[in-house]
Structure 1
């Protein structure tokens, strides 16, 4: 994916729908070139084409999700990184905000990062810090390790903080995930004696998915943005959670 195609994908993700004509005007190339770019991006499962338009996918691909609200997720990651001290060992679960957190930590601090995300491990391949990638069944779309082997590996390592992503939260259901095996990995992490921190943009709050996190009295903090409703913030705090609100850029 070249720089122009990255720009096209970002615009489609941000707007939700972009016409070929608008993309050509905003990038300064012909509509023929835009159609070629869109064909490539669709073939690589980054977006979907409709008649005269391009629309984003609800993708499991971490890189695609990272580009959605990139500036906001970078602010969330920067705040989360401020909670980690040099010399700490932390677990970072899969997800776009977590991937950005891993990159910030690797650039700023002497931190050992344990992860189940092959995407995060690859992202940090040129960094000086130590990265421990746990094994298991490889989920190709999410680029994450899952399954009973992953659970066993989690039991064999120790970390002071764990940063996890969520797919949904409602007051009556708590934190939920849309993938059973990835949720099982998160629950294995929550069984550890560590400070568990949810790192997620506010769009996930108010949604519900099939698989519950065993988070009662295990998650201590939520880091999200100021799109979180006041009602949801109060409900989260009533359960004993510290809620850190990051201002959207």
Structure 2
């Protein structure tokens, strides 16, 4: 069966997460495509910051290594202060009695923690198990957890098993993070199965707010889940390049720097 480019690159990342370093020959045997095709993939993926090319193969970049970035508990601790500032800015967009959707990112979890400190009545729908647990005892907040397959080593629901739930709700705002955001490719993420759910979340929300670390701007991960045209607000933890901000303004994206 022929693989799509994103599926193939997702498979490459899965294999590298398992082994950390592989040769083109090994990848070719595992995935069943030519070495020439894989070299093209690896060169593009290195350009996107997903991996580092080695002699005859590739290895994960430090930030993509399992002990560095894929463990939710580790990601949650990274840049906690910056995520907290992003959460405070995100809160300004929320109004009493709204129904908001939070993805399973560590930044969305930080927003949930911030919401817990406020007297605001909300319905919060989430694909993040930790996020749901954070809010479950708040008497002002109705928490709805999207069902599905639990991602191994994470607190994330993946797949579209529980997506029908979203059809029964009016979602005012989706707050979502991403592994990368670029004008050309929009919001992109690594896990292809998680991306399928995120696409559905994007399609059902009235307003899309991207909450992302400034270092991910200009980066493209393996699979897109929201085009630039779909994003309404971008909240980041630093001032971004004025040229990029100008381009985003042309796409009607409001940029908020949480300094």
TM over 0.5: yes
> How far does residue 66 in structure 1 lie from its aligned partner after superposition?
2.0
State which of 138, 152, 166 in structure 2 corresponds to 1:154.
Answer: 166
Match of 2:134? 123
- Structure 2 counterpart of 1:171: 183
Per mean C-alpha deviation after superposition, the further-off stretch among 58-67 and 112-121 is 58-67
Structure 1 runs, 4 residues or longer, greater than 4 Å off = none
Residues 1-249 of structure 1: pairs in structure 2 closer than 5 A: 57-108=67-118, 109-128=120-139, 129-247=141-259
Name the CA distance, whole Å, in 2 between partners of 1:118 and 1:162.
16
What is the aligned partner in structure 2 of residue 18 from structure 1? none
CA distance in 1, matches of 2:195, 2:94: 24
* Whole-angstrom distance in 1 between the partners of 2:103 and 2:202: 11
Q: Helix, strand or coil for the counterpart of 1:185? A: helix
Q: How many residues align?
A: 193
Instruction: Give the unaligned 5+ runs of structure 1.
Output: 1-54
Assess if the C-alpha contact under 8 Å between 1:117 and 1:145 holds in 2: yes
The offset of 1:193, in angstroms, is: 4.5
Which whole-Å CA distance do the structure 2 matches of 1:103 and 1:193 have between them?
22
Distance in 2, matches of 1:173 and 1:208, equals 7
Q: Which segments of 5 or more consecutive residues in structure 2 lack a partner in the other structure?
A: 1-64
Greater mean alpha carbon deviation, residues 235-244 or residues 68-77:
235-244
Match of 2:19 in 1: none
Q: Is the 2:88–2:111 contact (alpha carbons within 8 Å) kept by the matching residues of 1?
A: yes
Shift of 1:89: 1.2
Aligned with 2:232: secondary structure? Answer: strand
**What value does the CA root-mean-square deviation take over the aligned residues?**
1.9
* CA shift digits 1:114-153 (9 cap, x unpaired): 1011111122233222111110111132211121213222
Cα deviation, residue 90, structure 1: 0.5
1:180 deviates by 0.7
**Structure 1 length-normalised TM:** 0.72
